[in-house]
Amino acid sequence: MLFEKIRSEILAHNSYVVGAEGEAVVIDPRRDCQIYAEIAESNDFKITTIFETHKNEDYVIGSRDLARITGAEILHGARENFRFGTSVHEGDTFRLGPLELEVIETPGHTVESISILLRDRSVSADPLMIFTGDALFAGDVGRTDLAGESKRREMSEMLYASLHEKILPLPDGVIVCPAHGAGSVCGGNISDREYTTIGFEKAANPILSMSKEEFVEYKMNEKIYEPPYFEMMRRLNREGPPLLYSLPHLSAYSARELRSLLDGKAQIIDIRSPTSFAGGHIPGTLNIWRDGLPIYMGYYLNYDDPIVLVDDFNLDLDRVVRYCVRLGYDNIAGYLADGFAAWFKQGEEIERTGTWSPSDLAEHLDDPSVYILDVRKIGQREEKGYIQGSHHIYVGHLEEHLSEIPEDKRIVVHCDVGYKGSIAASILQKHGFSNVINLLGGTIGWEAANYPMIKEEEELYAAPAA
């Protein structure tokens, strides 16, 4: 039996290859799908079938590319109007030698969501594994808000039924293989267990012990942001995404070329660390540190204008390209040759961002010239508390709320660590705020340095989608 779990970093997306007797299936392949073909080839397996557990909204599915190179058939749930692939229904079974894969309809996250139950018929009628897609995660369950507020209650009830009538009645020993791990935007509290079981989730996942009413109430009140690129993902994954063929090539741009792009529509992204951005950057550029791209680029970047990267040393850009294409950003175009130093070697102007440590901020807590801006998720603010006097706008919504921020003050932005604070700082500077400071360490550093967090029940800002 071939079993491989393929993790896509940061997106925390899990896909799986399962095979026996020369044939293999892939569940929820990512778009840079060469890895599945390589696993199959190095094991002398042929990929014959691709399952999509649901219409993913956080990344571009790789089914069509993988089908192109392997000839495999694409299967997904029947209750969505897919423009490609074939529908499967409750109880459909597929064989791989002694292995049997059974389709279980588990709606709730989406209406057409399915889970795949795996049995080894040569040894037992008991199932061995279940691939739960976005229905059940380690420590969490799927989002029910993405179909819109009007359908949220209905989706939540469906998910409760799927969990309690389809999944949880399975034997405790069944291994649960979800489509996402910790850190995913598809769940607010997914645990970092790499593997789990029905039995362990029943013991350790608090959401599963709620009554139906508690569950629906909990899901109705859950606040998770929805990045704007989800809309594009849903459309692509329903209609069939464009074929990728191979990873885009990054062109090296000289500093001169980059400067000429500054007035155009190019999307110049500084992928350096918050300190590197603070020490000097190209005026007007957006800072999203490299591993923040899969989570945050979908808030700020469009799918048309070329994306150009600015790094310190241009290391491991191949990974950044993968991040982009997984989210459909095939407009990733190039990078600044020789890094940011190429910019200042030309004698160009640079912009700086202030950096403060917790103790620096502590000295200014009562300074009226200082405006403290918390850009964390509203849920974090509510759960963990906040720094005295701080205001809240979620980093993903900052550009729509700039008018709420005073122009004549020193703006101290902070998140929980300092990375998202730097995104926010770069947005503020881009929009003309001249005195912007990023709190290095964020609220975690603040608490580590023994400064107090205020935990009231107040809510300063309500995320529209929360």
- Total residues contacting its own copies by CB under 8 A comes to 99
Task: Report the C-alpha gap between 59 and 293 in whole angstroms.
Answer: 12
Work out which of 448, 453, 454, 462 binds its own copies, going by CB under 8 A: 448
Shortest Å distance, C-beta 246 to its own copies = 4
Count of Cβ atoms closer than 10 Å to residue 20 Cβ: 18
Q: Of residues 333-392, which lie at the interface with its own copies (CB under 8 A)?
A: 337-341, 344-350, 352-353, 355, 357-359
Work out which of 81, 86, 93, 254 binds its own copies, going by CB under 8 A: 254
Nearer to its own copies, 312 or 459 (CB): 312
Element holding 352 (H helix, E strand) = none
Work out which of 59, 137, 419, 433 binds its own copies, going by CB under 8 A: 419
Shortest Å distance, C-beta 76 to its own copies = 22
Shortest Å distance, C-beta 462 to its own copies = 28
Q: What are the tokens at 425?
A: 């700082």
Work out which of 86, 90, 95, 126 binds its own copies, going by CB under 8 A: 126
Strand order of the sheet with strand 354-356? Answer: 354-356, 436-439, 410-414, 370-374, 391-392
Nearer to its own copies, 328 or 442 (CB): 442
Work out which of 272, 322, 414, 420 binds its own copies, going by CB under 8 A: 272
Adjacent-strand bridge partners of 114? 105
Q: Of residues 67-86, which lie at the interface with its own copies (CB under 8 A)?
A: 69-71
Work out which of 110, 267, 276, 287 binds its own copies, going by CB under 8 A: 276
Site string for its own copies, 15-44 (x = CB under 8 A): -------x-----------x--x--xx--x
Task: Report the C-alpha gap between 17 and 93 in whole angstroms.
Answer: 17
Nearer to its own copies, 77 or 421 (CB): 421
Q: What long-range pairs does 66-70 form, CB within 8 A, spacing at least 24?
A: 66/26, 66/29, 66/33, 66/36, 66/37, 68/243, 69/33, 69/34, 69/37, 70/36, 70/37, 70/40, 70/46
Stretch that binds its own copies, among 146-154, 218-226, 261-269, 312-320 (CB under 8 A): 312-320
CB crowding 235-264: b at 16 or more within 10 Å, else e:
ebbbeebeebeebbebeebebeebeebeee
Work out which of 45, 230, 329, 394 binds its own copies, going by CB under 8 A: 45
CA torsion sign, 246 to 247 to 248 to 252?
A: negative
* Residue 457 neighbours by CB under 8 Å, 6+ apart: 382
Q: Of residues 173-232, which lie at the interface with its own copies (CB under 8 A)?
A: 173-175, 191-204
Residue 169 binding its own copies, by CB under 8 A: no
Q: Of residues 102-121, which lie at the interface with its own copies (CB under 8 A)?
A: 120
Nearer to its own copies, 220 or 341 (CB): 341
Nearer to its own copies, 362 or 402 (CB): 362
Nearer to its own copies, 80 or 291 (CB): 291
Nearer to its own copies, 163 or 278 (CB): 278
Work out which of 165, 214, 239, 252 binds its own copies, going by CB under 8 A: 252
Nearer to its own copies, 86 or 346 (CB): 346
Work out which of 228, 279, 306, 385 binds its own copies, going by CB under 8 A: 279
* DSSP code per residue over 92-154: -EEEETTEEEEEEE--SSSTT-EEEEEEETTT-SSEEEEEEETSEETTEE----TT-HHHHHH
Stretch that binds its own copies, among 51-59, 300-308, 405-413, 439-447 (CB under 8 A): 439-447
Task: Report the C-alpha gap between 24 and 1 in whole angstroms.
Answer: 9
Of 315, 324, 304, 300, which is closest to residue 423 (Cα–Cα)?
300
Residue 245 binding its own copies, by CB under 8 A: yes
Stretch that binds its own copies, among 105-113, 216-224, 240-248, 453-461 (CB under 8 A): 240-248
* DSSP code per residue over 164-211: IIIITTS-TTPEEEESB-TT-TT-SS----SSEEHHHHHHH-GGGGS-
Torsion angle in degrees (nearest 10) through CA of 454, 460, 463, 466: 60
Nearer to its own copies, 6 or 174 (CB): 174
